[in-house]
Amino acid sequence: MSASTRDLVGIIINRTSRTWRTKLDERLSHLGLTQARWLVLMHLSRMDGKALQKDLAVSVGVEGPTLVRVLDGLERMGLVERVGVEGDRRARRICLTPKADSVINDILNIGTKLRAEALTGISDADLEVFYRVMEVILANLLAPSAK
């Protein structure tokens, strides 16, 4: 029995995503970075190196307690620091430390090499179509469902 491409698209998206993350984790392991840690660093980097802890949790897509454990590890590594927010005793701003700059550069360089390997043999035109299709799939998944 043969399945159509439409039936298999979710499986290939999932396998590709998992494999990409696994390969990146392997290549970043020498830096002491798990997926959770490098994701937080990259999100913080894209947020100009600082963000309220609650905003960072939303950006990364994790619950507060999960983020706290990741931040504990990054703080022990000297890559982030937590700073109190004036006027709100409970809020914390998470800031990248100067030490994080070289680690983020390493992440970017390793990620660039992996991306080049993964996209070998794919034309720019095919990649543009693929990207547009993935944007539509994501938008469809994020849209309120019509139950």
pLDDT in tens, 30-76: 998 988 999 999 999 999 999 999 999 999 999 988 999 999 999 99
Mean residue pLDDT across the chain: 92
Closest CA to 50 of 100, 103, 87, 106: 100
Residue 147: pLDDT band (50, 70, 90) is low
Residue 83, strand partner residues = 93
Distance CA(147)–CA(88), nearest Å, equals 41
Q: Average pLDDT of 70-85? A: 94
Distance CA(64)–CA(85), nearest Å, equals 17
Q: Is the model's pLDDT at 118 over the cut of 60? A: yes
Burial of residue 62 (number of CB atoms within 10 Å: 0-12, 13-18, 19+) = middle
Strands 50-52 and 80-85: unpaired
Strands 88-96 and 80-85: antiparallel
Contacts of 1 (CB under 8 A, 6+ apart): none
Residue 86: pLDDT band (50, 70, 90) is confident
Beta strands in 5-103 (DSSP E): 50-52, 80-85, 88-96
Q: Is the model's pLDDT at 91 over the cut of 90? A: no
How many helices (H) and strands (E) in the chain?
A: 6, 3
Residue 2 has a pLDDT of 63
Q: Average pLDDT of 4-17? A: 93
